[in-house]
Amino acid sequence: MKAIILEAFGGPDNLIARDVAQPRPGPSDVVVRVQAAGVCHHDVLHRAGKLPGAKTGVVLGHEIAGEIVDKGSAVDRRAIGDRVVVYQRRFCGVCRSCLIGRQDMCKAFSAPAIDTEGGYAELIAVPASMTIPFQSGINWPAAALACCPIATSLRAIRSVGQMQPGDTVAITGASGGLGVHQIQIVRALGGYPIAITSSPDKAAFLRSLGAAEVVVSPDLTFASDVWNLTGKRGVDLVIDNLGQTLAQSVRCVTTGGAVVVLGNLDQSAATIQPGLLIARRIRVQGSGMAPIDEVRHALAMIAGGLIKPVISAVLPFDRVSDAHRLLDNRQTNGRVVMQGW
Decide if 82 is inside a domain. yes
Band of the pLDDT at 267, cuts 50, 70, 90?
A: confident
Q: What percent of the chain has pLDDT over 90?
A: 88
Phi then psi for 68, rounded to 5 degrees? -70, 125
Band of the pLDDT at 110, cuts 50, 70, 90?
A: low
Decide if 301 is inside a domain. no
Contact, 181 vs 310, CB < 8 A? Answer: yes
Lowest-pLDDT range of 202-216, 235-249, 260-274, 309-323: 260-274
pLDDT at 109: 67
pLDDT at 4: 97
pLDDT at 111: 63
Average pLDDT, rounded, for the chain? 94
Distance CA 78, CA 39 (A): 27
On the question of pLDDT at 113 being above 60, the answer is no
Distance CA 319, CA 335 (A): 15
pLDDT at 225: 97
Which 8-state DSSP code applies to residue 282? -
pLDDT at 115: 61
Statement to judge: residues 73 and 12 lie in one domain: yes
Kindly report, residue by residue over 90-107, the tens digit of the pLDDT. Answer: 999 999 999 999 999 998
Beta strands in 168-223, from DSSP E residues, in sequence order = 168-171, 192-197, 213-216
Statement to judge: residues 217 and 103 lie in one domain: no
Tell how far CA 196 is from the center of its chain.
Answer: 18
Phi then psi for 42, rounded to 5 degrees? -55, -40
SS3 121: strand
Decide if 185 is inside a domain. yes
Distance CA 146, CA 161 (A): 19
Statement to judge: residues 271 and 333 lie in one domain: no
On the question of pLDDT at 266 being above 80, the answer is no
pLDDT at 81: 97
Count CB neighbours of 304 within 10 A: 11
Band of the pLDDT at 130, cuts 50, 70, 90?
A: very high
Band of the pLDDT at 48, cuts 50, 70, 90?
A: very high
pLDDT at 136: 83
On the question of pLDDT at 251 being above 90, the answer is yes
What pTM does this model have?
Answer: 0.93
Q: Which sign, positive or negative, has the C-alpha torsion 49, 148, 134, 97?
A: positive
Phi then psi for 305, rounded to 5 degrees? 80, 10
Beta strands in the chain, from DSSP E residues, in sequence order = 2-6, 15-19, 29-39, 63-71, 83-86, 123-127, 131-133, 168-171, 192-197, 213-216, 235-240, 253-261, 283-286, 311-315, 335-338
Beta strands in 41-167, from DSSP E residues, in sequence order = 63-71, 83-86, 123-127, 131-133
Distance CA 64, CA 38 (A): 7
Statement to judge: residues 177 and 252 lie in one domain: yes
pLDDT at 53: 81
Decide if 292 is inside a domain. no
What are 127's strand-pairing partners? 29
The CATH number of residue 270's host domain is: 3.90.180.10
How many domains does the chain contain in total? 2
Domain hosting residue 198, numbered range: 149-286
Kindly report, residue by residue over 153-164, the tens digit of the pLDDT. Answer: 999 999 999 999
On the question of pLDDT at 116 being above 70, the answer is no
Band of the pLDDT at 114, cuts 50, 70, 90?
A: low
On the question of pLDDT at 265 being above 90, the answer is no
